[in-house]
Amino acid sequence: MAHSVAVIVGSLRKESFSLKIANAFAKLAPSSLKLEIVTLHGLSFFNQDLEAPPSADWVTFRETIQKSDAVLFVTPEYNRSVPGVLKNAIDVGSRPYGKSSFNGKPTGIVANSPGPLGGVAAAMHLKTILPGISGPIMQQPEIYLNGIGTAFDDKGNLTTEALEKVMKAYIDAFAAWVDRLKK
């Protein structure tokens, strides 16, 4: 049976590189993983005053994470950090206190940028945010996808062979790691 992975896309842009990367991972993933792409459109802002009862969009998001076996964050870098929409999703999913939907889930981080650094700062920021509310974060291999602005065709298909090899190696390593942790 395949492990289900919630792939959280940290960008709302229609032509988001993060969404294209998430879709490419879904095509590259081995049969031991079933990737569900989770976009953050329609997820309202976290406000603890609205926690009881939580809004339907919060409940749906939390349930999606809870029913997954693992979580993969795919994020761009905005101003040396993660986009606000992704931080909001983490806040929504990690509440109420002590009942994080991410808790215990093997977690992967994929950062990207059309620039030369590949979102390294965003990935490092996620590594400071997630401990305590998530499961174990895969440490190796790390993946920072740079220069992705020309990596896809006009239909969103990955066209850069070198990038495809890196992504395939990562998703295969993630699958093996999730399998080890879930046994």
Neighbours of 132 (CB within 10 A): 9
The predicted-structure confidence for 26-74, as pLDDT tens digits, reads as follows 999 999 999 999 999 999 999 999 999 999 999 999 999 999 999 999 9
Neighbours of 80 (CB within 10 A): 12
Q: Is the Cα torsion angle 84, 85, 86, 87 positive or negative in sign?
A: positive
From CA 114, how far away is CA 112, in angstroms rounded?
A: 7
The CATH H-level superfamily of 3-182 is: Flavodoxin domain (3.40.50.360)
Contact 22, 7 (CB under 8 A): yes
Q: Strands 144-145, 33-38: parallel, antiparallel or unpaired by DSSP?
A: unpaired
The predicted-structure confidence for 92-137, as pLDDT tens digits, reads as follows 999 999 999 999 999 999 999 998 888 999 999 999 999 999 999 9
Provide the pLDDT confidence category of residue 1 given band limits of 50, 70 and 90: confident
Nearest Cα neighbor of 158 from 14, 31, 28, 7 is 28
The pTM score is 0.97
Strand order of the β-sheet with 107-112 is: 33-38, 3-9, 70-76, 107-112, 144-145
The vertex-74 CA angle with 68 and 164, nearest 5°, equals: 105
Task: Give 83's contacts (C-beta < 8 A, 6+ positions apart).
Answer: 10, 11, 12, 75, 76
Q: Where are the domains of the chain?
A: 3-182
